[in-house]
Structure formats: C-alpha cells, structure tokens
A = this chain, B = another copy of it.
Amino acid sequence: MNFKKVLGDNRVKPYLFKARYGVEKESKRVDLSGELAKTDHPKSISQRDDHPYIQRDFSELQMEIITPVTETLEELFNYLAAIHDVAYRSMGKNEMLWPLSMPPGLPEKEENIVIAKLKSVEDVQYREYLSDSYGRRKQMLCGVHFNFEFGEDFIQALFNAQSDIKDYRDFKTEIYLKATRNYLHYRWLFTYFYGASPSSEKNFFKEDSLHDAVRSIRSSKYGYTNSEDVQVSYSSIQNYLYDLTSMVQKGLLSKEKEFYSPVRLRGGKHVSELADHGIKYIELRNIDLNPFEPYGISYEQAEFLHLFLIYSLWKDEGENCDEWVKLGDSYNDVVALEHPLEHTKFKKEAKDIIDEMEHLVNLLDLPNSGTLFINLREMLTNPSKTLAGRLYKESEKSSQSKVATYIAKENYKKSWEKPYQLSGFTDMELSTQILMFDAIQQGIKVEVLDRQEQFLKLQLNDHVEYVKNGNMTSKDSYISTLIMENKTVTKKILQQHGFRVPEGEEFQTIEQALRSYDLFSAKPFVVKPKTTNYGLGISIFKEGANYEDYQKAITLAFKEDSSILIEEFIKGTEYRFFVLDEKVYAVLLRIPANVKGDSKHTIRELVMQKNLDPLRGRDHRTPLESIQLGELENLMLKSQGYRMDSIPEKDKIIYLRENSNISTGGDSIDVTNQIPEDYKKIAVDAVAALGVKICGIDLIIEDLNAPATNNNAYGIIEANFNPSMYMHVYPYQGESRRLTMHIIHYLFPELLQNQ
C-alpha cells in the first residue's frame, strides 16, 4: 500500500490530527530533603488497587499518575496537572515527588525497598516475582507511558482512500504495525532529544557498571529490559502473539505483561483482546521523566510523538521488517549510551528526519506549534540543549541529586500555592474545582461534559452521577429548585408550613404597588425585583418611607423585573446555613469589607496588606475578593470621618462597604459551632418543607441566645438552589468545612460503606 499517497488524500485531510491520548507517569515519593519516603501511600487517597488516577507501582512509594483517555493534548495535560495537584496535596506537606527517572540514593539492603501493599494477593505475588527476577533496584526506575490511538475517523478515511486491504480490522492492524515498526526503528531520535537519565545514584547498580554519564540509562541495555532471548516479531499480529505466547511457555516471561518492549501493542486491558479485536492503540514506553516539567513530559514532547507516529506511518520501511526493528534496537543502544554533551553518531540522519518531518507538516497541512522544529534543530546542533545535556550540565554545578531536590521543591511549592485551585481546570468555578479534586482523590472518574457550564460526569464502577455547578445533582427534584428560584412561591410554601418569612406582597404594575402604600409606609420594609439577584434594584427603608421615596423605590425595582416584591424588613444578622440531606454542615457569617487598625498604617496600606492573602483575588478565581479602593469605598470612609490616608487606632475595625457580599471584598467567617441547635433545626426543617436536599438557606437572627421558638426570633430570607460551597471550604476565619466531600459522599454512599 502506498501510505504516502493515501495520507495525502483530500478525504483524509480533515481527520489527520484526530487521535486519543493517555498517560501513565510513575514517580517516587521523597521527603523534603530528597530522601525516599518511608511512609505508606497517602491515606486520604482512596486505597482501592484500581484507583483510576493514582495507584502504586512496584513499590509502596512509587506513585503512578494515570490520566483518562482524552481527545486532545490540552485535555491530557489538564488531567495530568489536576491529578498531580491531588497527589501532592494528598501526600501532605512533608513529601514531594522525585522528578527523575533514576531513583535517589537507594537503601543498601534491597529488602528495604518496600513492595506496594496492595489488596490483591496476585498483584503482590507478581511484584515478588519481579523482585526475584530483576532485583528491586531496577524496579525503582520510573518513566512515562504514552498511550496513543489514531482517531477512528482518521483510520476510516484512510481505509476509504485505498483499495488494497479489504477488511477494515486488518487494515487498522496494518496501520498500527507499520507505525510501530518505524517508531522502533527510529526511536533513537527520541532518545537523543528527550533521553533524561544520564547518571545513577548510590546503590542503584550493584557494581559500578557505567563509568561515565550517558543520554539514557533507562532506555539502554542497563535499563529496564527483558533478557536478550526475548524476541518478538512485529511483522503481523499473529506472529506477535505467537512469539509472546512462546516466550511465556518457555518461561522467559512469567506473563505477557512482563514483555518490556518500548512499544506495546494494545487490544484492551488484556493481551487476549488483541487476538479477538485487533490493535486498539499502542503504548509508547521509552520515555524518561522530563526533569524540567512538573508532570514528567512536556506538551511539545507529546506533539512530537504524535507527529513522529504520523511520520512513521508515512515513511517507507525496510523490506524485512523484523530486521528493520532489530536495527532500530541497535541504533538506540548506541545513542542511549552516548555522552550527554557529545554529538550523536547519527547527526546527519537526524537532520534528514527533521527535514522530512517538517516537509510532511507542510505537505499535509498539519497543525504546528511553531517552536517544535526550531527547538529540535537547536538540540541537534547543541547537545547540551537536550534533556540529558541540560540535566548533566546543571548537575555539574552541584550534584544531580541536589538539582532534582531543588526541582522537586519548586513543583511542590507550586502545587501548594493556591490550594483551592485544581490545576488544569482553573477556568472553572471554584466549587467545581474543589469537588473535582475530592472526586479524583476518592477514585471517582471525572469527565467534564461541558466546561463552560460546569457540567461533570462522575463515575464509580457502574454508578454514574451527573453534577452541574458542584451541587446541582440527581438528588434534588426539578420542582424543588423551581420553587427556590421563585421568591414568592418559596415564601408561600414556608409560610404554609409555619415558618416566619418577611410579610409582603407581589406587584405586577407600578399603580398596584403605589395603591398599597398604606400597608407598608409605617414599618421597616424592603422593595425588590422578584427574580434578579446581586442586589440590583433593591431599596431598604429601615424606618418606613414617605410616599415620594416609596414611589422612587418602586420605579427602580421595576427597572429590573416585571414583578416586584414589597416586604417587611427583618432586623438582625444574616447567616447562611448550608443544608445537605437534612443536616446543617456549615453556617457562615459574611461581614462587609473591612480592615483593622494598628495605629501605624494608613487605611490604604492596611487594605494592601489584607489583599496579600493568597485567598484574595479578582473575578471569583479565589475564595475571597480583593478589597477595592473605589468611589463607594471612599464614600463609606468619608461617612465615618476617614480618608484613605487616615491611620486608624489599634484594633479599630474600619468598614469599607455597607454590603456584606464576598464579591465586594467582604469576609467569610465560619460560625457553624456557634449556632445553637434550635436554629439549625429551623434551617433543616425549612429546607425539608421545600422538598430540597442541597440548599443554602439564609436566616436573619436577631439574637442567637434567644430561643428560636420566640416570636419573630428569626426570619427566612431566601433559599438558594445553587449555594456556593468554596466560601465554606476556604473561609477568611474559622474552620474549613469540606462541603464538596460531603456532596461526594452523599452522591456515592458506597464510598463510606466500603471503608
């Protein structure tokens, strides 16, 4: 088959860069000084052996980060980032991840490398077998496995563009086999650029096998390889399977999965599926951890791999394919064992391949990040720009181990900088980010169905739950949220159930509302639009109002909505109760933007100091908002007799806003433990009356010490069907309430049963 022609077919073009990706990335847990951790796998991570995102590899301290299958590289790296955040923060503040494929100094006694304490007896036995066959030291090598699947549409288009192979499955298999053979043949190129295991640390080799630094110990014959007798053909899927089976029968391999080829053909989870369904995807295994990337592999590397595979498909191969692959092994061994700073023996061939790859990009109109070819050429010209070269040069200044420890620390710091964020998904709402964090930690599969809309699919085994905005779930009924959305209906129902709500009326016309002046004029009351939020169009009259002001307020409210409410104003302090499944999990007090005087600094300075808190930021990307110094704040200060440059006396609280919204710099204070049980019961019962399971209900309470049964002890202001959770999880003051985890446990009660 003429691959060059088929790939250039116009019908193939739209699908050329469609693919699916997945990464498994192993690394070792170390303490903050870079010594191997002696602790168990973090308890906060679900301990299931089949955790979809974070597992243990050979050793208890080897953490394996597994991404789901994604359809874009962006998404792949989002998951890599997110799962790393979860891994870091689950380990706690005393541990970090070692950024190198090569382990740090190993214990003298191999037995002190602890085998992963898995639940599956079979899995533990297999590790014991590996320990016996290869030694535990070699198992401490870490790397990245890159799973790659050509887009189904792409293969289909290729298939339609040719007529040599009639059977679609045969065709698909041939596609993967050809790409694999050429990949194996040319993989020395990858080793040159991205090999990154130049030196070993103490006790890795029993005797000092390597005297000088190389490009990649891991990819060389000193790395993690089968015995030389293990030879498998890639000429056809039948031969591949036959050889594998023979190796196992001969006892050269304990199982098929012990076959440590740089490329593994995959039909599914088990080798048997290969025979049944053909090749589904391939697993590239010859990738050293990239020390300079927090997730062990760079986006550009992944781009290179994809392009390199298309190149491998396009490029003609040698007549004898077994020979062709074997040649590749020998070339790779040469390059892997070259000194990191020396030019490669195959410099000319490398240049030709790069030129051809670039030609291909132009020919097929492939997307191109722009810097890839510049960087490749620079690395080719200057070996110290390759990963091995860079690591080697950095290490010359101190030591490889010190460099690795420094890098690990930087990654660690970055992961802890904004603990409320989930890297890779920071454009989503904070509550959703925190919920995703908890789900990943609990081993629940997280799929983002609609990113802009905060729409998630969560899955634990066969149990699927869809969640929007972190707390819109299958547990609440449609009608109960519609009830909450409608203030009039909410009030009527609460009133019918005997709860105190502000008395008042709804009006559809200005005239109607004006006619009811007498009903409100003499008491404290509020005029507000029926459905808008954010305080727009609301007027509060704490002492009643004259007719003119009443009229103005009504006109204002009608600008925001076609229906308005006029209600009695209830005095007291407003608390937000977060109720979940008939229990109050958090109560929050919100107070207006403020600073506390110290008799030294101006208000401006105090505001700037307070804004340094990493919890504060802009545009709801942080749990608290920065305090502004705008017109409204100036007015507020003025009304209290201050200016921006005033220096308030020690401990004097200066308010910069009248409203207590978090969005205008207000403080969130957790007061869950201070709220008496009887008020919590009011909240729970009111939420139950509305038929709601997840609700943020706002109560105004005049005096927490007075019993809730007192006449007018409280008033219910609103029930929110989309209460923000992050403000409870990361309050300005008081205890953090991990509501997101409660939601997860509410949606997946089996998590608690299985513990």
Residues of chain A whose beta carbon lies under 8 Å from any beta carbon of chain B: 13-15, 449-450, 452-453, 455, 457, 465-468, 472-483, 486, 488-489, 492-493, 508, 516, 518-519, 563, 691, 721
In the complex the two chains form, is B489's CB within 8 Å of A449's CB?
yes
Instruction: Check if A453 sits within 8 Å of B691, measured CB to CB.
Output: no
Whether the pair B472, A479 counts as a contact (CB closer than 8 A) is yes
Contact A452 B508 (CB under 8 A): yes
For the residues of A in contact with B, the DSSP-based class is mixed
Query: Given contacts A466-B479, A474-B477, A474-B691, is CB(A450)–CB(B14) below 8 Å?
Result: no
20 new A-B contacts at CB < 8 Å, known A15-B519, A452-B563:
A13-B518, A14-B518, A449-B489, A449-B493, A450-B486, A450-B488, A455-B486, A466-B479, A466-B691, A468-B479, A472-B478, A472-B479, A473-B478, A473-B479, A474-B479, A475-B477, A476-B478, A476-B479, A477-B477, A478-B481
User: Using Cβ atoms and an 8 Å threshold, which residues of chain B touch A478?
Assistant: 472-474, 476-478, 480-481, 721
Contact at B480–A474, with CB atoms within 8 Å?
Answer: yes
Contact A14 B519, CB 8 Å, known A477-B475, A489-B449: yes
CB distance from A714 to the nearest CB of B (A): 21
CA distance A476 to B476 in the complex (A): 9
Inside 8 A of A480's CB, which chain B residues have their CB? 466, 474, 478
* A691: chain B residues within 8 A (beta carbon): 466, 474
Q: A478-B478, A480-B474 are in contact. Are A450 and B489 (CB under 8 A)?
A: yes
A153 to B488, CA, bound (A): 20
Q: By the criterion CB–CB under 8 Å, are B452 and A466 in contact? A: no
Which of B449, B457, B489, B721 touches A488 (beta carbons < 8 Å)?
B449
Measured CA separation A493–B691 after assembly (Å): 27
Q: List 15 A-B contacts (CB under 8 A).
A: A13-B518, A14-B518, A15-B519, A449-B486, A449-B489, A455-B486, A465-B479, A466-B482, A468-B479, A472-B479, A472-B482, A476-B477, A476-B478, A477-B478, A478-B721
Closest to A367 in B: B515
Q: Please give, as numbers and ranges, the residues of chain B lying within 8 Å of A475 by CB-CB distance.
A: 477
Residue pair B452, A492 in contact (C-beta under 8 Å)? no
Residue of B nearest to A465 (CB): B479
Q: Which residues of B contact A488 (CB under 8 A)?
A: 449-450
Inter-chain contacts of A721 with B (CB < 8 A): 478
Please tell me if the beta carbons of A479 and B450 are within 8 angstroms of each other in the complex.
no
The 8 closest A-B pairs by CB, nearest first: A14-B518, A476-B478, A474-B477, A14-B519, A449-B489, A478-B481, A466-B479, A474-B479
Q: State the CA gap A476–B480 with chains docked (Å).
A: 10
Q: Determine the chain B residues whose CB is within 8 A of the CB of A482 once the complex forms.
A: 455, 466, 468, 472
**A303 to B160 CA separation, bound complex (whole angstroms):** 82
In the complex, what residue of chain B is closest to A692 when comparing beta carbons? B478
Residues of B close to A476: CB separation below 8 A: 477-479
Beta-carbon nearest neighbor of A153 in chain B: B519
Q: Would you give the shortest CB distance from A384 to chain B, in whole angstroms?
A: 38
Complex CA gap A477/B692 in Å reads 11
A480 to B476, CA, bound (A): 10
Question: For residue A467, which residues in chain B have a CB less than 8 angstroms away from its CB?
Answer: 479
Chain B CB count within 10 A is highest, among A475, A482, A486, A489, for A482
Shortest distance between the CB of A452 and any CB in chain B (Å): 7
**Which of chain B's residues has its CB closest to A466's CB?**
B479
Residue among A15, A477, A488 with most chain B CB within 10 A: A477
CB distance from A506 to the nearest CB of B (A): 8
> How far does the alpha carbon of A12 sit from the alpha carbon of B692 in the complex, in Å?
39
A482 to B450, CA, bound (A): 11
Q: Which of chain B's residues have a CB closer than 8 A to the CB of A492?
A: 449
Contacts of A453 in B (CB 8 A): 486, 489
Shortest beta-carbon distance from A464 to chain B in Å: 9
Give the distance to chain B from A71, nearest Cβ to Cβ, in Å: 11
Task: List the B residue with the shortest CB-CB distance to A503.
Answer: B153
CA distance A14 to B505 in the complex (A): 13
Which residue among A466, A488, A508 has the maximum number of chain B CB atoms within 10 Å of its CB? A466
A550 to nearest B CB, angstroms? 13
- Residues of chain B within 8 A (CB-CB) of A468 are 479, 482
CA distance A483 to B455 in the complex (A): 9
Residues in B whose Cβ lies below 8 Å from that of A455: 482, 486, 489
Of A465, A489, A516, chain B has the most CB atoms within 10 Å of the CB of A489
Closest chain B residue to A16, Cβ basis: B518
Closest beta carbon of chain B to A86's beta carbon, Å: 24
Docked pose: A457 CA to B479 CA in angstroms? 11
- A467 (CB) vs chain B CBs: closest residue: B479
Task: Name the distance in Å between A299's Cβ and chain B's nearest Cβ.
Answer: 19
CA distance A540 to B13 in the complex (A): 24
Q: With a CB–CB cut-off of 8 A, which chain B residues contact A481?
A: 478
Closest residue on chain B to residue A449 by CB atoms: B489
| Complex Cα gap A508–B452 (Å) | 10
Residue of B nearest to A365 (CB): B518
Please measure, in the bound complex, the distance between the C-alpha atom of A89 and the C-alpha atom of B453, giving whole angstroms. 47
Contact of A466 among B13, B465, B483 (CB under 8 A): B483
Whose C-beta in chain B lies nearest to the C-beta of A690? B466
Output the nearest chain B residue to A496 by Cβ-Cβ distance: B457
Contact indicator B466/A473 (Cβ below 8 Å): no
Question: How far is it, in angstroms, between the C-alpha of A702 and the C-alpha of B606 when the chains are bound?
Answer: 70
Q: What residues of chain B lie closer than 8 Å to A472, measured between beta carbons? A: 478-479, 482
A392 CA to B14 CA, complexed, in Å = 88
Hey, which chain B residues are within 8 Å of A474, CB to CB?
A: 477-480, 691
User: How distant is the Cα of A13 from the Cα of B516 in the complex, in angstroms?
Assistant: 11
Contacts of A457 in B (CB 8 A): 493
Question: Which residues in B have their C-beta under 8 angstroms from that of A519?
Answer: 14-15
Most chain B CB within a 10 A radius of its CB, from A14, A473, A475, A480: A14
The complex places the Cα of A450 from the Cα of B505 at a distance, in Å, of 12
Question: Closest residue of chain B to A515, judged by CB?
Answer: B367
Query: Which B residues are in CB contact (< 8 Å) with A13?
Result: 518
**Min CB–CB distance A472 → chain B (angstroms):** 5
